[in-house]
Amino acid sequence: MDTYRRPSTGQGTKPPGQGLYRNEFTILIVDDDASFLHLASSVLRKHGFTVLNASSGVKGLNMLTYSPADIRLVLLDYTMPHLNGDETLKHLRKLNPSIKVVAVTSSDPNLVAASFRDGVDKFLKKPLEATELTATIDSLVGCQPQK
C-alpha cells in the first residue's frame, strides 16, 4: 500500500552550524501604525522574509499563540493603546522565552520602561533604514539571504 508523504520543505537539511535562509521562518510585526506595518512588511518581503502583521499587542499575542511555530522574531512597537509594548513583551516572553524581539519605536529609549529596554534583544529607532533592519534580523536569527 502506498502512503502519502508530505513534500520536504527543505528545513533541517543544512549542515549543523549553517544559518537559516530568510524564507525559512516568519517575522511578526506588532505596531498600531498601519502605514508602518505596510511599509515594514513590504520591505521585509522584498528582502525574502515571510511576514505576519498585527495592529495591536493583543492581536500579536494571539498570532503568536495560534500561528505556526516558525515565528522566530517579533518587531514590537512600544507606544500602543490598550496593551503597550512593555505589557505585550511580558506576555510574549511567557509564551516563547527564546523568541527574538526587536523594539521599533519613535520613543526615546531613555523614556521607555526599563523592563522594556532590558527585555528586548535590540532597540531600533523609527524611521528605520531597510539595510539596518535586515542586518539586525539576520544577526539575531543567524540567517542568510535566500538561495
pLDDT tens figures, 74-125: 999 999 999 999 999 999 999 999 999 999 989 888 889 999 999 999 999 9
d(CA 14, CA 36): 34
Query: Considering the domain 27-144 in this protein, what is its CATH number?
Result: 3.40.50.2300
Number of H helices, E strands in the chain: 5, 7
Closest CA to 30 of 66, 63, 68, 70: 63
37 three-state secondary structure: helix
Is 143 in contact with 21 (CB distance < 8 Å)?
Answer: yes
Tell me: the pLDDT tens digits for 41-82? Answer: 999 999 989 999 999 999 999 999 987 668 999 999 999 999
Global confidence as pTM: 0.82
Q: Taking the CB of residue 91, how many other CB atoms lie within 10 A of it?
A: 15
Angle, CA 70 vertex, CA 117 and CA 15 arms, to 5°: 105
